[in-house]
Structure 1
Amino acid sequence: MLASLTLAGCGDADGPADASGADASGESASREPAEIYAQYCVNCHGTGMAGAPMVGPEHRLIWSEEIEEEGFPTLVKIAIEGQNGMPPRGTCFDCSDEEIEATVLYMLKESGAK
């Protein structure tokens, strides 16, 4: 099942280039998880591209099984580091670890994972 988390290049190639996570003023710019999901994650997790587990209540069992088998910290680690075809940070290279973690949690909640 973990293999279903792996995908290639599904993020937004036109996203911000500043890898520091800071805005133009140098301040850390925290974005809402829904915004990050809509810009970077939905391309694969909204369509099932490359076997990505889809997000939504109808996919609750898949996400619940992932949590049970792998655990939340492992899912976050995969989202941050990438694995197999899943690109690191889903190509959101300026997302902080905290933003990635919040976005994974958002995806799980949107799917009703237990």
Structure 2
Amino acid sequence: MQKLYWYSIAMVLPVLWLAGCSDDSAPANGPAQQARDGAQLYRQYCVTCHGSGALGAPGVGKEHRPYWSHEIEEDGFDALVLDAINGFNSMPPRGGCFDCSDDEIRSTVIYMLNKSGAK
């Protein structure tokens, strides 16, 4: 009887452990996770460096328009987005938002450019 008890526990524990590993952020058959707003992502992940210039990050704001406009003219928008996705200099890939989609990164770059008045 005691052997059956331990056998039952040995079978149930892994199932309970794996159940705790599930991703509850979206229902299994429900709609896909909605993309997060670029402004929200900027405030959560980017403002620490881009708001202060930490680690040489270019600032965001109207006074930094020449920098961002030059970047767009020089390398193009798509290259800027790829730098944000892959990381550049001291910036980690995706700005540290490792669960951000490429579209979310793109929208965050657009937000930063708009906030800086880049054309």
Matches within 5 A, 1:2-13: none
Deviations 1:72-101 (A, max 9, x none): 000000100112321000000111000000
- Please tell me whether the aligned partners of residues 23 and 29 of structure 1 are also in contact (alpha carbons under 8 angstroms): no
CA RMSD of aligned residues (A): 1.7
Shift of 1:24: 3.4
Matches within 5 A, 1:1-114: 23-25=25-27, 27-114=32-119
Instruction: In structure 2, list runs of 5 or more residues that go unmatched.
Output: 1-22
SS for the counterpart of 1:54 is coil
Residue identity (%): 60
Distance 2:63 2:25 in 1: 36
TM-score normalised by the chain length of structure 2: 0.74
Q: Which structure is larger by alpha-carbon Rg, 1 or 2?
A: 2
Distance 1:34 1:25 in 2: 26
Aligned residues: 94
Counterpart of 1:45 in structure 2: which amino acid?
A: H
Counterpart of 2:40 in structure 1: which amino acid?
A: E
- Please tell me whether the aligned partners of residues 61 and 116 of structure 2 are also in contact (alpha carbons under 8 angstroms): yes
TM-score normalised by the chain length of structure 1: 0.77
